[in-house]
Structure 1
Amino acid sequence: MARYTGPKAKISRRFGEPVMGTSKALTKKNYPPGQHGRGRRSKKSEYSLQLAEKQKVKYTYGILEKQFRNVFHRAAVKDGITGVNLLQLCESRLDNTVYRLGIAPTRRAARQLVSHKHIMVDGEIVNIASYALRPGQLISVREKSKSLEAITNSLSGHSARRFNWLEWEGSDMTGKFVTYPERDQIPENVNEQLIVELYSK
């Protein structure tokens, strides 16, 4: 299973926001990482801004370069606005949906639950984190895994915030991917137009 295994706090400091989950490093060192982090020039080129935005989305959703390029291609050929399509496809990933439902505290933890066969889609075990959900599909915790401490702790500590494109039934640990989210419903701080411009060159 290909995934990013490098330092997380460093990535968050690079973008100045918790793209890989909450991090104390951001409050302690609110400047970019590296020897010249404090004195780095603030003016960035257009290409630099576009690339940074793409990297931010990649790290946020845990997607590697080749896979991200494939997702962008699917977004480009799909009807609608390419940038919005891109974020919708990222949001419809199984690992992201498991995280949004509160079954896992982070996307990385959600990815692990999926790969370890704790999650089912429409009653069938799916262990592919990048599995693209379609509207109407049901996501549930496998019967044997419902008492798993990692899952129960995450659900009990999960905030009451729910997302409009998802439904959750806590009694039987089942959720539903109702529809693709609208752009204003996606909470990620991303300027997707910059990514479209980057790939349009």
Structure 2
Amino acid sequence: MGRYIGPQCRLCRAEGRKLFLKGEKCQSAKCPIALKRPLPGKGLNARTKKPSNYAIQLREKQKLKRIYGMSETQFRRFFSMAEKMAGKTGDNLVTLLECRLDTVVYRMHFASSRKQARQIIDHGHVLVNGKKVNIPSYLVKEGDKIEIKEKSKKALLFKENLKEYTRSGVMPWLEVDPDNLSGLVKLIPQRSDVVDLADIKEQLIVELYSK
């Protein structure tokens, strides 16, 4: 199945929460979730019908997959990696997703969304420990230095995106030097650290894939 190319805000409406797919618009009063727009393509009867356990598990998986902008194949691969790690599979899955380079670039506010972060990485603007990495799914490690390459630092895009850093700061496991467009992965995040995903019930995803 190909990548979804339809309206991004429709995905947020389908999941009933902000997925932060549109950058600045998601923070504005124009966000359809803030405007309490209805679910797409569904009537009142469909919205009030009690969902099955499978439907609840599927929605939770779709929600997390869409937040990180991944295909089913990519998401399933990360789930398999999480299963092989020590500890809870659900916690491991969230940690792995947070360690993706596109997520880290987004969390450092070098990009306004994960989609934009993937484009920035694809185009070769990002260095990891001084070396160009153009793979969005690359997994960062504790102590890795992430920076925008020197030739790209003058781009207005990065200065605009860093305004969000001024407003909201950065996740506690990361450190950002906005003047030099660089950052440091201080720690590998734990599940409890990812507070903006507090409503995600990853155990339902584990149950879905365990069938």
TM-score range with shorter-chain normalisation? over 0.9
In 2, distance between residues paired with 1:167 and 1:37? 46
Q: In the TM superposition, what is the alpha-carbon distance from 1:43 to its structure 2 partner?
A: 1.0
Kindly provide the CA deviation profile for residues 125-158 of structure 1, in whole angstroms up to 9, marking residues without a partner as x: 1111111111111100100111111111101343
Q: In the TM superposition, what is the alpha-carbon distance from 1:171 to its structure 2 partner?
A: 2.6
Q: In the TM superposition, what is the alpha-carbon distance from 1:176 to its structure 2 partner?
A: 1.1
In 1, distance between residues paired with 2:95 and 2:4? 22
In 2, distance between residues paired with 1:164 and 1:157? 15
Q: In the TM superposition, what is the alpha-carbon distance from 1:30 to its structure 2 partner?
A: 2.9
2:65 maps to 58
Runs of 5+ unmatched residues, structure 1: none
**With structure 1 as the length reference, what TM-score do the two structures score?**
0.93
CA contact under 8 A between 1:71 and 1:86: conserved in structure 2? yes
- AA aligned to 1:18 is K
SS at match of 1:39: helix
CA contact under 8 A between 1:137 and 1:177: conserved in structure 2? yes
**With structure 2 as the length reference, what TM-score do the two structures score?**
0.89
Of 178, 192, 195 in structure 1, the residue corresponding to residue 202 of structure 2 is 192
In 2, distance between residues paired with 1:109 and 1:163? 19
Count of aligned residue pairs for this structure pair: 199
Q: What does 1:1-201 align with in structure 2 at a 5 Å threshold?
A: 3-19=3-19, 20-21=21-22, 22=26, 24-34=31-41, 36-40=42-46, 41-158=48-165, 159-186=167-194, 187-188=196-197, 189-201=199-211
CA contact under 8 A between 1:120 and 1:142: conserved in structure 2? yes
- AA aligned to 1:200 is S
- AA aligned to 2:81 is R
CA contact under 8 A between 1:13 and 1:32: conserved in structure 2? yes
RMSD (Å), alpha carbons: 1.6
SS at match of 1:26: coil
SS at match of 1:18: coil
CA contact under 8 A between 1:31 and 1:37: conserved in structure 2? no
Q: Which moved more, 1:122-131 or 1:23-32?
A: 23-32
Runs of 5+ unmatched residues, structure 2: none
In 2, distance between residues paired with 1:156 and 1:110? 16
SS at match of 2:45: coil
Segments of 4+ moved more than 6 angstroms: none
CA contact under 8 A between 1:102 and 1:154: conserved in structure 2? yes
Matched residues, percent identical? Answer: 39
CA contact under 8 A between 1:119 and 1:142: conserved in structure 2? yes
